[in-house]
Structure 1
Amino acid sequence: MSSESTFFGHPRGLATLFFTEMWERFSYYGMRAILILFMTTETAQQGLGLDVETSAAVYGLYTAAVYLLSLPGGWLADNVFGQQKSIWYGGILIMVGHLILAIPGSQEIFFIGLGFVAMGTGFLKPNISSIVGDLYGDDKGAKRDAGFSIFYMGINLGSLLGQTVVSFLGEKVDWHMGFGAAAVGMFLGLIQYKLTLGTLKGIGMKPEKKVKLPGEKSGATFTYALTAGAILLIFVMQYLGIVDVTTARGIAESVGVLIVVVTLAYFANIFISGGLDMAERKQVFVIFLLFIGASVFWAGFEQAGSTLNLFARDYTDRMIFGYELPAGILQNFNPFFIIILSPVFGAIWIRLAAKQMNPSTPIKFGFGLLMMAVGFLVMYFAAVIVVQGTKAGMGWLIVTYLFHTTGELTLSPVGLSATTKLAPRKYYSQMMGIWFVATALGNLIAGLFAGGFDPNDASQVPGLFMSVVLLGVGSGIMFLIFSGFMRRWMGNVR
């Protein structure tokens, strides 16, 4: 493989996936930077005119759906289309969705556009990550981790470009021109993917050949039954007045219940009727624990597009040389730090591995959660300044994004890589889908959390941020405490 390692010392196919994902993330993060701002802007200013609570719930539902649909997207790739075609079809759906969003019109047209983007991302995201893992064959060491770190740099390069272009066009020129720019980005990604597809050398061209396992049918029935039970539980909660599915927030809370129950059902199905041996069951249980840790991390981190975006708009002094920066552009500091630090972290993992000092995945998860918490501790002090009657400087958000980036680099690419190593081969893409379901749950929680953000009352903001600090610290400490047993259950995988 070394003679073909022409992309930063990695297989050439990584370049194809790097640039495809870069343009897809250009479209996704560019649109996300203006999404909640557009929804909460008055109709007189060409916005959607929704209140913060409704907008935050819609934001949470959309960003959750983007990743939740990765599970059926992974299944369809495994059983019907193959990963390469799933990426292609997904990109087309994403582009169509952004084109619909670029059309000025009713709320119904807007929601249809969001639906297309969500479906397309569900096809593309888990399968492109799966092929990255397949490029390295049986190599499950630090080289693969470094490859995912480089891939992650492509994600954030697209994010940096998208949030710059779309924020300026959307906030300073016209909202729908911003959405149109996101469509152009995905179109460029599709062209690049088609022209360089040969570098993948047939990986993911055909669906995996599945072997029907004893008890698999009954296991699926068990999953369906639990899913039906989750829906019944939502009806009961509606009847008792615990949730209200006639509101956007109530729907978001109900979807949260569904995600939790269906995820538990999926793992139960794998354990009961998946045909796994004891070692595989232990590794799948570790994936489940990583799922929990990732959900908590993203619940804090993904507030960049909701709570922190609103904080940037309403409580942050964004003036520089007499010009007020678009609120969404401050999110660029996360991908900026990623681009700078990704190669550094990749090199660190390889060097530590050579010295037999590379921290295990659970320890990296614990550190990532603690860094997320520290970032919100910074925002707590920024919110205290706002309560005192003055706007916070942009430096508070910049430092927060630096801490969050450090946490992201120790958790997200490592978690992706660990999932490709731990997942049983016959459930490979589905397990990648499960990884993105964790992101879905985190995004949904982030949206619900933002619903409590009142742009007219700064006094409640410090308490909101401190609750995230406590959640992150508690979760991070738990991962550090239980890292030993998790490491043993991971077997030869670090």
Structure 2
Amino acid sequence: MDFTLILLIVAWAFCLVWVPMTIVANRKSHPKALFVLFFAEMWERFSYYGMRALLTLYMAKVMFKALGDGADLKAVAVYGSYTALVYLFPVIGGLIADKYFGFRRAIIFGGVLMMLGHFALAMEGLVFEGNELLFYLSLSLIIVGNGYFKPNVSSFLGEFYEEEKYKLQKDGAYNIFYMGINVGAFLSALTCGYLGEKVGWHYGFGLAGVGMFFGLMTFYMNRNVFGERGVVKEAGVKKVFSGISLNVVILIATVVFVPLTASLLSFNEVLEIILLVAGIGILAGLIIYGAISKERVEGTRLWVVVVLAAFNIFFWALFEQAGGSLTLFTDKNVDRVLFGSEIPASAFQSLNAFFIITLATAFTWMWSKLRKRNLEPSTPMKFVLGLVQLAIGFGVIVLGANMFSTDGLVPMIFIVLMYFFHTTGELSLSPVGLSMVSKLSPAKIVGFVMGVWFVSFALANKLAGKIGEWAASEKLPENAQLQDTLDIYSTTYLNWGVYVVLGAAAILLLLVPLLRKWMGGIH
């Protein structure tokens, strides 16, 4: 019996029932644009997380297998660089959409680039397997495309809640939107993961490209519901030379930048310096912008974004071990046999999305009840709660490794519980983070500030890669057993996932009163 295939069928059946029910329940209280963006983002996340579920395993087992024991180290290093750039480029994409493209053009252009990247990645395996140049070019297409797509879908959604009748529904809209993200992630980790590990790696990558195609078609075919919002800015259509508009120049420059991005993936040391300088510079720029703002409250609100972005780094650096070291850990040190069938390591990445889908409504209800009683935690306090739950999740893994493992294998229940606590931490922190940025940002730079928010994810993902590298670079004894790798992983997760994260939570707890004051009345 193939238990994973049965689980896959049940998952699709569940989502085919749950998604329509969610739309019907909310269709009268939200604009139609929410549901168009819901499906566009759902399919885009299907493509992104479908590829992500396979990427580290593919690199360790196929792309860099000639490196032997160094394959894991190379895989997590490239994964860290890839995901860091995925979150760094939205700063540029958000700025270009704000000033020139408009949200619609940026989303479509980004989606096309991502689709081409996924199909190129599939082609690399089917025709040119092992070709590192094509592999890096494929990843760079996805990176650059995501820079245009990801921040602008989130920011575009906020525009439909400027009307008075929808303002109070904004948090709810982002929660529904966030569930759409996770429907895509849930189905893709199971579907692309199963197809990639059971049939062929690049069939999984190709299916991710099909998902991106569906996302593009959903957005383009329903663009009439957007009205006049998100159109091309006047500055973008301005002719710069020989009748060529500035937007065309930006498009050409973007295409040229793709191979340059591919080269960054090969040089981790250079990328680390660039990320550090760019990250510090961008966050410092936002601090200065807040300091010189004519409106004092506007300035201090931007400072709140910067401070929470710093703590956001600690959260996601450990959370994003899911696609890197935790996937390798699951592959090597988790007993994955259930009912006589071995579950692919990539399938466990679907647990996070599954728990979000099933728990998000409960969290929304809980915050609503607490709000009515004036007991709802402030946004900074929710960040504290998120960090604490993240640490509990890693504590569960350490407990399983130290007290319940057999021959270097941890019972499956511990990885399931870890994802549960990581998900409850994410639900405390991530949805309110997106909503917070849209509320605290001045309207004229909301796309850019949303991009700045993603800088914290970029730095977090690069740090995540470094943490994975430190674990993978630990020298194993000759004839190493599973217990040896288990000891390395559990020590890494104890030091970083428990001690460092709890320390960050304690510091933020002390800052909560000041941050609430800086928010200027926004809860």
TM score, norm. by length of structure 2 = 0.82
Q: Distance in 1 between matches of 2:345 and 2:463?
A: 22
Q: 2:376 is paired with a residue of what secondary structure?
A: coil
Change in CA separation of 1:297 and 1:254 when aligned onto 2, cut-off 3 Å? same
On the 8 A contact 2:64/2:71 being kept in 1, the answer is no
On the 8 A contact 2:81/2:268 being kept in 1, the answer is no
Residues 272-304 of structure 1: CA deviation (Å, up to 9, x unaligned): 66x442111100100001111111111111111
On the 8 A contact 1:5/1:11 being kept in 2, the answer is no
Q: Which amino acid aligns with 2:142?
A: V
Q: Distance in 2 between matches of 1:194 and 1:316?
A: 43
On the 8 A contact 1:167/1:328 being kept in 2, the answer is yes
State yes or no: 1:423 paired with 2:441: yes
Q: 1:10 is paired with a residue of what secondary structure?
A: coil
Q: Distance in 1 between matches of 2:388 and 2:157?
A: 28
State yes or no: 1:260 paired with 2:288: no
Which residue, out of 502, 513, 521, partners 1:473? Answer: 502
Runs of 5+ unmatched residues, structure 2: 1-23, 237-263
Q: Distance in 1 between matches of 2:265 and 2:378?
A: 45
1:193 matched residue in structure 2: 219
1:218 matched residue in structure 2: none
Q: Distance in 2 between matches of 1:427 and 1:161?
A: 34
Q: Distance in 2 between matches of 1:246 and 1:432?
A: 24
State yes or no: 1:463 paired with 2:495: no
Residues 424-464 of structure 1: CA deviation (Å, up to 9, x unaligned): 11111000001111111111111111112348532222220
Cα shift at 1:268 = 4.5
Cα shift at 1:5 = 9.6
Change in CA separation of 1:138 and 1:365 when aligned onto 2, cut-off 3 Å? farther
Q: Distance in 2 between matches of 1:207 and 1:44?
A: 45
Q: Which amino acid aligns with 1:250?
A: E
Which residue, out of 214, 224, 228, partners 1:202? Answer: 228
Q: 1:482 is paired with a residue of what secondary structure?
A: helix
Cα shift at 1:47 = 11
Q: Which amino acid aligns with 2:146?
A: T
2:372 matched residue in structure 1: 354
On the 8 A contact 1:149/1:345 being kept in 2, the answer is no
Q: Mapping of 1:337-352 within 5 angstroms?
A: 337-352=355-370
Which residue, out of 127, 133, 137, partners 1:112? Answer: 137
Using the aligned pairs only, state the percent identity: 38
Q: Mapping of 1:354-433 within 5 angstroms?
A: 354-385=372-403, 389-433=407-451
Cα shift at 1:419 = 0.5
On the 8 A contact 1:17/1:132 being kept in 2, the answer is yes
Cα shift at 1:348 = 2.2
Residues 133-160 of structure 1: CA deviation (Å, up to 9, x unaligned): 2221166976321211111100000001
Change in CA separation of 1:261 and 1:47 when aligned onto 2, cut-off 3 Å? same
2:348 matched residue in structure 1: 330
Q: Distance in 1 between matches of 2:266 and 2:199?
A: 32
Cα shift at 1:385 = 4.8
State yes or no: 1:59 paired with 2:75: no
Residues 219-278 of structure 1: CA deviation (Å, up to 9, x unaligned): xxxxxxxxxxxxxxxxxxxxxxxxxx99754345324423432323432552466x4421
On the 8 A contact 1:58/1:248 being kept in 2, the answer is no
Q: Which amino acid aligns with 1:460?
A: I
Q: Distance in 2 between matches of 1:37 and 1:48?
A: 14
On the 8 A contact 1:56/1:306 being kept in 2, the answer is yes
Which residue, out of 141, 148, 153, partners 1:123? Answer: 148
Change in CA separation of 1:70 and 1:38 when aligned onto 2, cut-off 3 Å? same
Q: Distance in 1 between matches of 2:234 and 2:396?
A: 47
Q: Distance in 2 between matches of 1:171 and 1:49?
A: 21
Change in CA separation of 1:165 and 1:8 when aligned onto 2, cut-off 3 Å? farther
Q: Distance in 2 between matches of 1:247 and 1:46?
A: 17
Cα shift at 1:354 = 2.7
Q: 1:317 is paired with a residue of what secondary structure?
A: coil
2:54 matched residue in structure 1: 34
Change in CA separation of 1:356 and 1:36 when aligned onto 2, cut-off 3 Å? same
1:77 matched residue in structure 2: 97
Change in CA separation of 1:355 and 1:318 when aligned onto 2, cut-off 3 Å? same
State yes or no: 1:177 paired with 2:203: yes
RMSD across aligned positions (CA): 2.6
Change in CA separation of 1:197 and 1:477 when aligned onto 2, cut-off 3 Å? same
Cα shift at 1:86 = 0.7
Q: Distance in 1 between matches of 2:465 and 2:446?
A: 29
Q: 1:493 is paired with a residue of what secondary structure?
A: coil
Q: Which amino acid aligns with 1:477?
A: A
On the 8 A contact 1:7/1:14 being kept in 2, the answer is no
State yes or no: 1:167 paired with 2:193: yes
TM score, norm. by length of structure 1 = 0.87
Change in CA separation of 1:451 and 1:385 when aligned onto 2, cut-off 3 Å? farther
Residues 347-372 of structure 1: CA deviation (Å, up to 9, x unaligned): 22223223322211011011011111
Q: Mapping of 1:278-357 within 5 angstroms?
A: 278-357=296-375
Runs of 5+ unmatched residues, structure 1: 211-244
Q: Distance in 1 between matches of 2:227 and 2:132?
A: 44
Residues 394-414 of structure 1: CA deviation (Å, up to 9, x unaligned): 111110111011111111110
Q: Distance in 1 between matches of 2:339 and 2:139?
A: 36
Which residue, out of 461, 469, 473, partners 1:443? Answer: 461
Q: Distance in 2 between matches of 1:87 and 1:49?
A: 41
Q: Which amino acid aligns with 2:55?
A: L
Which residue, out of 18, 32, 35, partners 2:38? Answer: 18
Q: Distance in 2 between matches of 1:83 and 1:44?
A: 38
Q: Distance in 2 between matches of 1:202 and 1:426?
A: 17
Change in CA separation of 1:46 and 1:158 when aligned onto 2, cut-off 3 Å? farther
* Deviates further, 186-195 or 7-16: 7-16
Residues 74-106 of structure 1: CA deviation (Å, up to 9, x unaligned): 011011100111111111110000011001220
Q: 2:383 is paired with a residue of what secondary structure?
A: helix
Q: 1:389 is paired with a residue of what secondary structure?
A: coil
Change in CA separation of 1:247 and 1:180 when aligned onto 2, cut-off 3 Å? closer
